[in-house]
């Protein structure tokens, strides 16, 4: 399986690895078929993500997707982060093999769950959560 140089860089040198103590939002997702587990931690001030960390148990694509997704939402508003799609993550990685697209879906799902954790604590309306099958279908990445 061939990976882009960007995927390999984010796999070998992942950005934003770790946990945030007392995070403002946490989202954890997993894929029963492949065993990947992804957990995203958010620190948010004035509705802006000032820090984001992740812990991922999975393949190179899962780790690279987590790393890239955290880079893409750091410094963004909650609303901007909510608009991140798995397709955008995959494109930023210069593509993922079709059988690995689910890894970028996990990143989108984990971020949405973490944002919803934050919004729920604030008593604000939650973002719609789509499952992996909906995301894969919506983006034609099955």
So where are the chain's domains? 5-122
pTM to 2 decimal places: 0.89
Q: Check residue 31 and give its pLDDT.
A: 84
Residue 122 pLDDT greater than 60, yes or no: yes
Catalytic residues: 34, 103
Q: Check residue 129 and give its pLDDT.
A: 81
At the topology level, CATH places domain 5-122 in Sufe protein. Chain: A (3.90.1010)
Residue 71 pLDDT greater than 90, yes or no: yes
Strand partners, 44: 49
Of 19-28, 65-74, 121-130, where does mean pLDDT reach its minimum? 121-130
CA distance 101 to 119: 27
Helix (H, G, I), strand (E, B) or coil at 34: coil
Query: What is the arithmetic mean of pLDDT over 65-90?
Result: 97
Terminal alpha carbon distance of the chain: 17
């Amino acid at each position: 399986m061939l990976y882009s140089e960007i995927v390999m860089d984010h796999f070998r040198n992942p950005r934003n690895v770790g946990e945030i103590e007392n995070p403002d939002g946490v989202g954890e997702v997993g894929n029963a078929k492949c065993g990947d587990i992804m957990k995203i931690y958010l620190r948010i001030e004035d509705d802006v993500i000032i820090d984001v960390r992740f812990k991922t148990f999975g393949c190179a694509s899962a780790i690279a997707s987590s790393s890239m997704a955290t880079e893409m939402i750091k410094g963004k508003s909650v609303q901007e982060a909510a608009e991140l799609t798995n397709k955008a993550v995959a494109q930023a990685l210069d593509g993922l093999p079709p059988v690995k697209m689910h890894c970028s879906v996990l990143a989108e799902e984990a971020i949405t769950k973490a944002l919803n954790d934050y919004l729920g604590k604030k008593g604000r309306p939650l973002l719609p959560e789509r499952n992996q099958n909906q995301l894969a279908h919506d983006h034609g990445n099955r």
